[in-house]
Amino acid sequence: MDEKVLLRLFLKELGEEDNDVSYVDGLAVKIDGFAESWAKLPFHTYADLGWRAVAATLSDLFVKFAVPKALLSSITAPDAQKAREVFDGIREAAAHFGVRYLGGDLNQGREVVVDVAAIGAVPVKIGRRPRAGHVLIAPPLFGYTGLAFVASREGERSPVVAKGIAWLKRPMLDWPKPPPPDCVSASMDSSDGVADVLWTMARGVDIILEKLPAPEEVISEALNLGVEPEEVVLNAGEEYLPIFAVDPRCVPEGYVAFAKVVEGEGKVYYKGEELKYRGWAYFR
């Protein structure tokens, strides 16, 4: 059982909704984290891991229009120095995003594990099931992280790959202004790849992917590196970019409509066939 299947099973057993945030008494709450062994790439510092955990958590809040009130962290580390570096990254990110950081727990362990929890105020509740007739929109900026996963070990790094590395080190969440919430039937941030978002949203509907939400320089760099653009754009993850299902009349500046939601039974199609990519999941 992979991570996604297991998580859905857990939530079913708990009778809780499968969503990017949980709703409790007018609040949105979220916890997100990872372990060094799976998350730390050679270019990452421990402070980068702290920053990324904050960005990952806030990204989930922001895509639900939640306004963060505070962050808590639990830092596990083999020594005090690494714990200190993770803390610095969390603190820098909290300051950057303007969110109060309350501190949290500190523990010793074999490797660094960072967990960040956040609470936010919510004006609306938005799930993960889009309405048929809606379109999926996103900033057309996918693929940089995918290129960096593929090419970061090469000696010479192109500017496009370098952009992906910077993105993986310190995700900035500088999203264009989201659509009005009343246009939105579903939303998710992409942390495990566009393909994961598409398959997750395709429950009780089908989704037809019409184009890759990526800039031209990403496509040409992928071809240049000899990898499929679809792999890089759809299957990477850690973009922390928003994907909204909206009424087709509600596509704001900075977003492209790249897929449509139709009546169906849970499939994702691309170029007339079932999409072969699934995005990232642990335990697969």
Which residues of the chain form contacts with its own copies (CB under 8 A)? 1-3, 6-7, 10-11, 13-14, 16, 22, 24-25, 27, 29-38, 69-70, 72-74, 76, 79-80, 83-84, 87, 91, 100-111, 113, 115, 117, 119, 282-283
Question: Minimum Å distance from CB 39 to its own copies?
Answer: 8
Question: Minimum Å distance from CB 75 to its own copies?
Answer: 9
> Residue 186, CB half-sphere, CA atoms under 13 Å: how many?
24
Query: By C-beta, is 13 or 216 nearer to its own copies?
Result: 13
Question: Minimum Å distance from CB 77 to its own copies?
Answer: 8
Query: By C-beta, is 22 or 224 nearer to its own copies?
Result: 22
Query: By C-beta, is 149 or 258 nearer to its own copies?
Result: 149
Query: By C-beta, is 27 or 166 nearer to its own copies?
Result: 27
Residues 6+ apart with CB under 8 A from 235: 146, 193, 194, 195, 277, 278, 279, 280
Question: Minimum Å distance from CB 116 to its own copies?
Answer: 9
Question: Minimum Å distance from CB 47 to its own copies?
Answer: 14
Rounded Cα–Cα distance for residues 129 and 222 (Å): 31
Query: By C-beta, is 23 or 43 nearer to its own copies?
Result: 23
Q: Rounded to 5 degrees, what are φ and ψ at 119?
A: -120, 145
